[in-house]
Amino acid sequence: MWDNIKEFASEFFVTGDPLIYGADVAIGLSIVAIVFVMTYFKKWTWLWREWLTTVDHKRIGIMYVIASLLMLFRGGVDALLMRTQLAMPELEFLSPEHYNGIFTTHGVIMILFMAMPLMFGLFNLVVPLQIGARDVAFPFLNSLSFWLFFWGAMLFNVSFVIGGSPDTGWLAYPPLSGIQFSPGVGQDFYIWGIQISGIGSLMTGINFIVTILKMRAPGMKLMKMPMFSWSVLSSSLTIILAFPILTITLALLFIDRYLGAHFFTLDGGGNPMMYINLIWMWGHPEVYIVILPAFGIFSEIVATFSKKRLFGYKSMVFALMAISVTSFFTWAHHFFTMGSGANVNVFFAISTMIIAIPTGVKVFNWLFTMFRGKITIKTPMLWTIGFIPCFVVGGMTGVMLSVAPADFQFHNSYFLIAHFHQVLIGGVAFGYFAALSYWWPKVFGFKLNERLGKWAFWMWGIGFYVCFMPQYVLGLMGMTRRVNTYSWDSGWWELNLVSTIGGFLMGIGFLFQVWQILHSIKHMERDTTGDPWDGRTLEWTIPSPAPAYNFAVIPHVNERDSFWEEKQRRERGLVPDPQPELEPIHMPKNSGIPFIKSFCWFVVGFGFVFDWLWMSIPGVIGIIACMLAHSFNYKTDYYIPVEEIKRTEAAARGSI
Amino acid sequence: MKRGFRRLTTLLSLGVMTLLLSGCSNDIIVLNPKGEIAKHQMDLIYITTGLCLLIILPVLILTFFIVWRYRNRPDSKAKYKPEWEHNTKLEVVWWTIPVIIIILIGIVTVQYTYKLEPSKPLEHEADPIVIQVTSLDWKWLFQYPDQDIATVNYVQFPEDVPIRFELTSDAPMNSFWIPQLGGQIYTMSGMAMTLHLIADEPGEYLGSGANFSGKDFAKMQFVANATSQEEFDQWVEQIKATSPELTDEGYQALAEPGVSEKVTYSGLPENLFERTVAKYGSKHNHGSVEHDEQTHDEQERG
Ligand code: HEM
Ligand SMILES: [Cu+2]
Ligand SMILES: [Cu+2]
């Protein structure tokens, strides 16, 4: 009996590595600490009522942001571990198995559990406010999406200490990811973690398309909509076309592994090529899904901080849409060297280059928004200005990679690593950081500290160039990606050392951000105006933080930059139109079902990972029970009475 | 902001310095080609980089200029036009510039893609030497069907003679890359790919597996040694005289996962390469039909 337990535990828990024991201890201690604090301050019911069951898009947005920043920490630690291992030749800091697990989880976490949720957080925090809506189209679904992401991410993350991490790369090409070459549970964690959160992403895409198309304030024609909302629309359209491909691909991989089918293995008549095609049909659009909202963010910030209208609005909209369509016709540029023949390579080389055109146009439009403006350089603007050169150069190396015969030399080398980090960090990460500091006061009612923010920016900015510029050169020196070590006579070590130093500088940048947030909470610089940046769009018309119902009276929109125009009119002494009478506001009720149902998905996934049907079956039953419970629940909404609205508004505006 | 610019310039000069310190261009092997294909690829890299810089550099300069000139200062003399948001002429200009640059890059790309198609034989008076490459877990096997020898993690060939690499995998997919001779190509089980390369001068070149294939993937580097024809012939003779034969059992053992030193073999099992390809069924032939034809005439030769 005892021996059985011991044997089971030694397979179940990952052992034999001090890093993992460290993680075990850290996880254990934090759980104990959380439970203790919550119990001591009697916060459990508060947590459940106000947060875990909330359907308020602003709170869901906040939870997305918190979760993704935690994931940024985890992914960042992974990155620094890898960079430490590569700092010098022939180091034995990480074993090959461990290194492979770490670069796989780093890639998956950064893209799917850091960038995506941070993006969804911003969708939730900003879009309804920006289009003058009281909520998203499907608040219940919205909460479900969040919790599916959350539990999917948790499932993926426990693989580090339970069972073992996946280690076949973030796109898990078969046959390496098949049962023959990856018999462990890591790959199943990968499949289920991504699958569960992927369903959440798909639903968020649908939710925001409907929200934007159906719930804009009266008068806000599509061509009067703020640019961030446009970028969310284009990104969401790309999501609903791309994510079903991912779902099916992973399902087939699971069937291969679990039921011994041969969709992706040659010996049974399948073909790994099919997987590679499918995964990139999702994977390439995916990188555009995360960059498009960043384009929207920069457009908002550039206009606000230049005190000028966005230049070339129509071309900007057209460019966004062109990019999301074209992104579906480029996937084969990820395997030019697979011998598809010259005709295929020519097609995908050209279709890839075409994307550079609308992207380039957007850069010109941003520049000409600043041109003849009055630029104030606050942190959001600083990130934006830092982004432009970084993205321009990253885009250029992207064009170089798309030159198929030249890519024969760049592919799978550090040149590629440098390129995609340049666009992902310099574009996506900088963009979302800019957005966080820009909309922070609207969400929390206080500003982030400027000085620490600038420190964070410079650390990230300098660290970025120190880390990744040498990697372009390393690629040309023949260093291939995903190597866990290299020899002294390769001549690569100086540049690798420099690169590692840059990585740690970015780590310091992250610490500055944490410090910035903590410091700003402590020494709050309250935003009493609701409009700390002299903004142009609707979200700045309401108090900060926004009340639960967002707008006491739904605004009427006559032009682009409607708030800016109104401020101009007020300055000219014109009185605003009289506001209509307040009416009771219809709101959705909180629900615990999304949380419980997503947790059941976690249970199902965990059961399948370990092949424990006794665990999966109750999970499935739980999911069905949640569905039934929800469909028979008719008490899903309530009204906020006029009295209460008046009180809230008076309190919020009292300080003006 | 001033401080910012100062930091940026320090940073840039630091970057340039590391570049110079890193032992200059000789180590940047992609830009130090020793074969016809790699030379063309390097030309292409320079041409397309140049074309890109043609648009990138002005944009970078414009960015710094605009940010500098229009930053908000009390005594700023710069114009301020808050309503100016559209100008058809300007927008036409910056739709056209990237279009032209991309057309230029596109034309070059198309030409070079056909010219450097890896399965296309090189034009040369000498007949190509055939080397059959198999990626294994975690080592490279090179078979010389005409010389009837084989090597592991080590490949040798005469300079100035075209080489016809035939590639497959008996393990997860990998990618065969000798940067100084030319770009990489994937090795996949169930399929024989072709890559034509040539070395213009003798030398020892770095070769590696570029596509992640599991645990000891990083150990899949090999030496590609180009020598004179005589030295090559002597080398073959020497292997024939001193090395053991590669048998089917020997191959089975070699194919087991694990790393390996350099090894040489005299004598090959009958049709080993073709059998390795055929082992996975013949379903796998994306790309051109050529693959199948090649496997056929190899079988005739073998
Ligand atoms: C602190 C900054 C970062 C550092 C130092 C860093 C470093 C690395 C390293 C060393 C690799 C492995 C290269 C290899 O051997 O294949 C890697 C891969 C990767 N990183 Fe990062 N990274 C950072 C931030 C990010 C961010 C912000 C993102 C995404 C938004 C990201 C996305 C990826 C992806 C997708 C891969 C590819 C993983 C794979 O090939 O399987 N990284 N990174
Ligand atoms: Cu792509
Ligand atoms: Cu193939």
What is the number of CB-based contacts under 8 A between chain A and chain B? 291
Q: Looking at the CA of A416, which ligand is closest?
A: 1
Q: What is the gyration radius of the CA atoms in chain A, in angstroms?
A: 25
Which member of B179, B183, B213 has the closest CB to residue A176? Answer: B213
pLDDT in tens, chain B (302 residues): 445 555 555 655 555 555 555 545 678 999 999 999 999 999 999 999 999 999 999 999 999 999 999 998 888 888 888 888 889 999 999 899 999 999 999 999 999 999 999 999 999 999 999 999 999 999 999 999 999 999 999 999 999 999 999 999 999 999 999 999 999 999 999 889 999 999 999 999 999 999 999 999 999 999 999 999 999 999 999 999 999 999 999 999 999 999 999 999 998 999 999 999 988 876 566 644 444 444 434 433 33
CA distances from A235 to A36, A187, A290, A295, A532 (A): 41, 28, 7, 10, 28
Instruction: Please give all residues whose CB falls under 5 A of ion ligand 3, grouped by chain where several chains appear.
Output: B 188, 191
Chain A residue with the nearest C-alpha to that of B118: A339
From the list A264, A147, A204, the residue with the least C-alpha distance to B173 is A264
Torsion angle, alpha carbons of A597, A600, A604, A605, to 10:
80
Asked whether residue A5 is domain-assigned, the answer is: no
What is the per-residue pLDDT for A2?
Answer: 82
A357-378 tens-digit pLDDT: 999 999 999 999 999 999 999 9
Chain B residue numbers with beta carbons less than 8 Å from the beta carbon of A173 are 172-173
Low-confidence ranges of chain A (pLDDT < 70): 654-656
Task: Tell me the two tokens of residue A63.
Answer: 């939870």
Is the Cα torsion angle B148, B152, B156, B162 positive or negative in sign? positive
From the list A426, A392, A397, the residue with the least C-alpha distance to A413 is A397
What is the per-residue pLDDT for B32?
Answer: 94
**Which atom of ligand 1 approaches the CA of A417 most closely?**
13
Q: What is the ipTM of this complex?
A: 0.91
Asked whether residue A158 is domain-assigned, the answer is: yes
What SS3 state is found at B22? coil
pTM here? 0.92
Task: Decide: A336 and A348 in contact? Cβ < 8 Å.
Answer: yes
Chain A residue numbers with beta carbons less than 8 Å from the beta carbon of B291 are 339
Chain A residue with the nearest C-alpha to that of B9: A462
**Residue A274 CA neighbour count, 13 Å, CB half:** 15
List the single best residue of A403, A472, A483 to mutate versus B (max B Cβ within 10 A). A403
Asked whether residue A407 is domain-assigned, the answer is: yes
How far off is chain B from A421, nearest CA to CA, in Å?
Answer: 17
Chain A residue with the nearest C-alpha to that of B117: A342
**Would the CB atoms of A307 and B82 count as touching at under 8 Å?**
yes
Q: Does B15 touch chain A (CB under 8 A)?
A: yes
A613-653 tens-digit pLDDT: 999 999 999 999 999 999 888 888 899 999 999 998 888 87
**Which atom of ligand 1 approaches the CA of A114 most closely?**
30
Task: Tell me the two tokens of residue A84.
Answer: 């430490």
The count of domains in chain A is 1
φ, ψ at B194 (rounded to 5°): -125, 140
Q: How far apart are the CA of A417 and the centre of ligand 1, in A?
A: 7
H or E element at residue B150: strand B149-152
What is the per-residue pLDDT for A43?
Answer: 85
H or E element at residue B182: strand B182-187
What is the per-residue pLDDT for B298?
Answer: 42
Where along chain B do its domains lie?
Answer: 2-22+29-71+87-115, 129-293
Is the N-terminal amide bond of A380 cis, ω within 30° of 0? no
Asked whether residue A165 is domain-assigned, the answer is: yes
Is the Cα torsion angle B135, B136, B138, B143 positive or negative in sign? negative
Superfamily of domain covering B129-293: Cupredoxins -  blue copper proteins (2.60.40.420)
Contact map slice: B 67-106 vs A, CB within 8 A: 67, 70-72, 76, 78-86, 90-91, 94-95, 97-99, 102, 105-106
Chain B residue with the nearest C-alpha to that of A276: B173
Chain B residue numbers with beta carbons less than 8 Å from the beta carbon of A500 are none
Q: How many helices (H) and strands (E) does chain A have?
A: 22, 4
Q: What CATH number corresponds to the domain at position A254?
A: 1.20.210.10
List the single best residue of B153, B177, B220 to mutate versus A (max A Cβ within 10 A). B177
Q: How far apart are CA B67 and CA B86, in angstroms?
A: 20
**Would the CB atoms of B59 and A367 count as touching at under 8 Å?**
yes
How far off is chain A from B256, nearest CA to CA, in Å?
Answer: 12
**Which atom of ligand 1 approaches the CA of A80 most closely?**
5
Instruction: Assess whether the C-beta atom of A104 lies below 6 angstroms from ligand 1.
Output: yes
Task: Decide: A43 and A37 in contact? Cβ < 8 Å.
Answer: yes
How far off is chain B from A331, nearest CA to CA, in Å?
Answer: 15
Q: How far apart are the CA of A385 and the centre of ligand 3, in A?
A: 44
Q: How far apart are CA B292 and CA B117, in angstroms?
A: 17
Which member of B48, B78, B114 has the closest CB to residue A400? Answer: B48
H or E element at residue A366: helix A342-370
Is the N-terminal amide bond of B33 cis, ω within 30° of 0? no
DSSP letter, residue B192: -
Long-range CB contacts for residues A248-254, cutoff 8 Å, separation at least 24? A248/A278, A249/A275, A249/A278, A249/A279, A249/A282, A250/A191, A250/A194, A250/A195, A250/A198, A251/A195, A252/A278, A253/A172, A253/A174, A253/A177, A253/A178, A253/A191, A254/A188, A254/A191, A254/A192, A254/A195, A254/A608
Q: Helix H segments across chain B?
A: 2-21, 24-27, 36-69, 88-115, 229-242, 248-255, 272-278, 290-301
Q: Looking at the CA of A266, which ligand is closest?
A: 3
**Would the CB atoms of B214 and A100 count as touching at under 8 Å?**
yes
Chain A residue numbers with beta carbons less than 8 Å from the beta carbon of B106 are 349-350, 353
Q: How far apart are CA A61 and CA A500, in angstroms?
A: 34
Q: How far apart are CA A112 and CA A153, in angstroms?
A: 9
Task: Tell me the two tokens of residue A465.
Answer: 């160039």
Q: How far apart are CA A177 and CA A198, in angstroms?
A: 19
Residue type, B246: L
Task: Tell me the two tokens of residue B157.
Answer: 């060939």
Task: Decide: A636 and A588 in contact? Cβ < 8 Å.
Answer: yes
Q: How far apart are the CA of A361 and the centre of ligand 2, in A?
A: 20
Task: Decide: B173 and B187 in contact? Cβ < 8 Å.
Answer: yes
Q: Looking at the CA of A464, which ligand is closest?
A: 1
Q: How far apart are CA B236 and CA A37, in angstroms?
A: 75
Structural domain range at position A104? 43-86+93-653
Chain A residue with the nearest C-alpha to that of B68: A375
Instruction: Assess whether the C-beta atom of A467 lies below 6 angstroms from ligand 1.
Output: yes
**Would the CB atoms of B189 and A175 count as touching at under 8 Å?**
yes
CB proximity list for A373: less than 8 A, separation 6 or greater: A306, A307, A308, B70, B80, B82
CA distances from A311 to A184, A358, A368, B85, B106 (A): 54, 14, 6, 4, 29
Chain B residue numbers with beta carbons less than 8 Å from the beta carbon of A360 are 55, 94, 97-98
How far off is chain A from B238, nearest CA to CA, in Å?
Answer: 28
